Amino acid sequence: ALISSATGVSLPQGCVVFGEIGLSGEVRSVGRAEARLREAQKLGFDQVLSPTLTAKTKGVKVTSVTRLTDVVERISQNRY
């Protein structure tokens, strides 16, 4: 929400973002990432921005990010 507010660009409907942001701007994995991915799909999300995931879910496009700057860049340029 903060990034969307700062850039003036909203996430498209169907896109979800999850991860933990470290003090130096790195985006880290969160617990139960695979379960979160499955639940996002059940709720109708078809695009995910997250730290590197090894899990794959059919019908969901996962875009990996490693730094907060990656997230800002992708959102501001509509690249998910």
Number of structural domains (the chain) is: 1
Domain coverage including residue 31: 2-76
pLDDT, tens digit (0-9, with 9 covering 90-100), for 12-47: 889 988 899 999 999 998 888 888 888 999 999 999
For residue 80, is pLDDT > 70?
no
Strand 47-50 relative to strand 20-21, pairing: unpaired
Q: Say how far apart CA 73 and CA 80 lie, in whole Å.
A: 10
Q: CATH code at 11?
A: 3.30.230.10
Nearest to residue 27, comparing CAs of 68, 80, 70, 74?
Answer: 68
- Strand boundaries in the chain, DSSP class E: 15-17, 20-21, 27-28, 47-50, 61-64
| pTM, 2 dp | 0.75
The whole-number pLDDT of residue 3 equals 80
Check: CB of residue 48 under 8 Å from CB of residue 60: yes
Average pLDDT over residues 49-57: 75
